[in-house]
Amino acid sequence: MSDIKTMGQQFGRRSWAEPWKIKMVEPIHMITRAEREKAAADAGYNTFLLRSEDVYIDLLTDSGTSAMSDRQWSGMMMGDEAYAGSRNFYNLENAIQTYYGYKHIIPTHQGRGAEHLISQALIKKGDYIPGNMYFTTTRLHQELAGGTFVDVIIDQAHDPIDPHLFKGNVDIDKVKALVKKVGAENIPYVSLAGTVNMAGGQPVSMQNARELRAYCDSQGIAVYLDATRMYENAFFIQEREEGYAEKSIAEILLEFCSYTDGAWMSAKKDNLVNIGGWLAVNDPKVAEQARTMVVVYEGLHTYGGMAGRDMEALAIGIAEGVQDDHVASRVRQVRYLGKLLLDWDIPIMQPVGGHAIFVDAKRFYPHIPQDQFPSQTLAAQLYLDSGVRSMERGVVSAGRNPETGEHRYPALELTRITIPRRVYTQAHMDVVAESLKAVYDQRDSTKGLKMVYEPEYLRFFQARFELLD
């Protein structure tokens, strides 16, 4: 038998390959070094402020950057653009119920729309929300609803080279300690994410989800899931957790979701669409509250800010994205890039996660202090070298402590090189690895950055910098 799982185990060398072929291409090209220097300076050395035309290989994010399939594009022609009760909504509802197993579905324009609804529905002022590491928009919505986020991820997640296979796990003792301190009545839910983006795309084990559910049940605390990259999380469970090797990603996903009360989703990631999101819950009262709010902030509860055609592409993307061969090739492409970098001793977060390579900027630039933004510096240098766009996930993303106004100094100071799904080839990965090597070879003479403009919220999107000299 030679399927994608067993290939390579039987022979010295049998490679995997993408389960698709290319039908349409989009030309890209690299502008000159002088043009890149000007573009970088104009963008305040913030890769979010570059024009995409000035970018050669765009690894800023895997959000909304996937290539849709011919089937999804055909679905776009089947849009039912009725204001209410569009056929495409029912297809979407059916896909989410089938693959994720939740009862009530509320569409939103993207993930943060769903985060807004669930945070406002469940959090009251003074509440605490434990979670397995913060995510930028998730935490901000929890704070805007009057809550305080408390990180309860296992300690190993904060160590960029700890080889733990499930670095996304919740440390249930930390949840217990929080319950003891603030009382279960002030904890509306645990905010569980699979995989954990800010920890490097690290997975949560099935056992951890099961144990968390059992403990939360004993305390009357709900568990809500950030399902944004749960397909990739399910792949790691299949690969690493005892008893799951023979189960499909779809089966693993359903079991995992069954330990939670609902989920919010950025469909721009796993679900293979360029825009879209959803909230899914089992509790009819929470669904009713969310539907009341969705009409204020997003759109009617049968479109939530999406066009009918977008909901159709999403319904198809949900079913395509969960296929074993798709997820396996997606994660293996990320791993291929990771292996090239490790072979050259470039410090990256390990084990390599599901959607991105996270370069450890603290070890890459040990001479640049955190208040001179090492990961922002690395993202700028990579762009200057080759036009490859990455992003900062360190002190800039962490923002300021709202009480003290000081920078939050996260243990992890990372530059994220994120791989869009079904977009780039292995040759693109080679170019990226070689460029990082060139930047690494010049590390000793590289200086940090100075922040010259800082917006109040989610500053990493729009902050501006100057080169220090």
Ligand X SMILES: *Cc1c(COP(=O)(O)O)cnc(C)c1O
Please state, in angstroms and rounded to a whole number, the distance separating the CA atoms of residues 349 and 337.
Answer: 12
Query: For this structure, is 393 an active site residue?
Result: yes
Question: Which of 47, 63, 91, 271 lies at the binding interface for ligand X (CB under 6 A)?
Answer: 63
The SS3 of residue 177 is: helix
Mark 5-44 with x for binding to ligand X (rule: CB under 6 A) and - for no binding: ----------------------------------------
Question: Residue 137 CB, nearest distance to ligand X (Å)?
Answer: 5
**Strand 414-418 relative to strand 356-360: parallel, antiparallel, unpaired?**
antiparallel
Question: Which of 228, 381, 418, 435 lies at the binding interface for ligand X (CB under 6 A)?
Answer: 228
The SS3 of residue 450 is: strand
Query: For this structure, is 373 an active site residue?
Result: no
**Can residue 65 be called a binding residue for ligand X (CB under 6 A)?**
no
Please state, in angstroms and rounded to a whole number, the distance separating the CA atoms of residues 304 and 217.
Answer: 31
**Can residue 110 be called a binding residue for ligand X (CB under 6 A)?**
yes
Strands (E), 300-448: 356-360, 388-389, 391-393, 414-418
Residue count at the site for ligand X (CB under 6 A)?
15
Residues 118-137 that bind ligand X (CB under 6 A): 135, 137
Query: For this structure, is 89 an active site residue?
Result: no
The residue annotated as part of the active site, out of 269, 291, 362, 422, is 269
**Can residue 268 be called a binding residue for ligand X (CB under 6 A)?**
yes
- Looking at the Cβ atoms of 63 and 372, the one nearer to ligand X is 63
Question: Which of 123, 133, 193, 280 lies at the binding interface for ligand X (CB under 6 A)?
Answer: 193
224 bridge partner residues: 191, 262
CA angle 151, 353, 378 (to 5 degrees): 85
**Can residue 274 be called a binding residue for ligand X (CB under 6 A)?**
no
Question: Residue 18 CB, nearest distance to ligand X (Å)?
Answer: 23
Question: Which of 66, 88, 191, 266 lies at the binding interface for ligand X (CB under 6 A)?
Answer: 266
Sign of CA dihedral 241, 245, 249, 253: negative
Question: Residue 271 CB, nearest distance to ligand X (Å)?
Answer: 10
Query: For this structure, is 135 an active site residue?
Result: yes
Query: For this structure, is 226 an active site residue?
Result: yes
- Structure-token match 């243990």, residue found: 411
Strands (E), 104-216: 104-108, 128-131, 148-151, 189-193
- Looking at the Cβ atoms of 305 and 308, the one nearer to ligand X is 305
Query: Residue 70: which residues within 8 A CB-CB, separation 6 or more?
Result: 23
Query: Residue 21: which residues within 8 A CB-CB, separation 6 or more?
Result: none
Query: For this structure, is 48 an active site residue?
Result: no
Please state, in angstroms and rounded to a whole number, the distance separating the CA atoms of residues 117 and 293.
Answer: 7
- Looking at the Cβ atoms of 264 and 383, the one nearer to ligand X is 264
The residue annotated as part of the active site, out of 61, 136, 302, 418, is 136
The footprint of ligand X (CB under 6 A) covers: 63, 110-112, 135, 137-138, 193, 197, 226, 228, 266, 268-269, 277
Q: Report, as residue numbers or ranges, the catalytic residues.
A: 83, 135-136, 226, 269, 393, 460
